[in-house]
Amino acid sequence: EIVLTQSPGTLSLSPGETATLSCRANQSVRSNYLSWYQQKPGQAPRRLIYDGYSRAIGIPDRISGSGSGTDFTLTISRLEPEDFAVYYCQQHGSSPYTFGQGTKLEIK
């Protein structure tokens, strides 16, 4: 089973700053099948990035994904109030399709 470790657990930033979230796998993610999701309280998750770097429809270009193999990064530039939420990475290269434990992005 692929274990995904996200860091940091909590990230405190101000609007306008840049957030950098990390997702590290204990083994290579096949074909870079890694997605990033955003979840707000009381809501279902919403995918932002798939295949490591492809932006989902409707996601602004200030949100980007990068990385390959075992190390992946989600970068959110020019933070806006609606960006403060919990973010999860998930791999679907091999079953089970595991999630990371999440990073909470909070307003400083």
Could you list the residues that contact other proteins (CB under 8 A)?
A: 1, 35, 37, 39, 44-47, 50-51, 54, 56-57, 88, 90, 92, 95-102
CA distance 25 to 48: 19
Least distance CB 39 / other proteins (angstroms)? 8
Q: Judged by CB, which is closer to other proteins: 28, or 102?
A: 102
The bridge status of strand 54-55 relative to strand 63-68 is unpaired
Nearer to other proteins, 18 or 68 (CB): 68
Distances (CA, A) of 11 to 15, 20, 32, 60, 105: 12, 9, 25, 21, 5
To the nearest whole angstrom, how small is the minimum distance from the Cβ of residue 85 to other proteins? 13
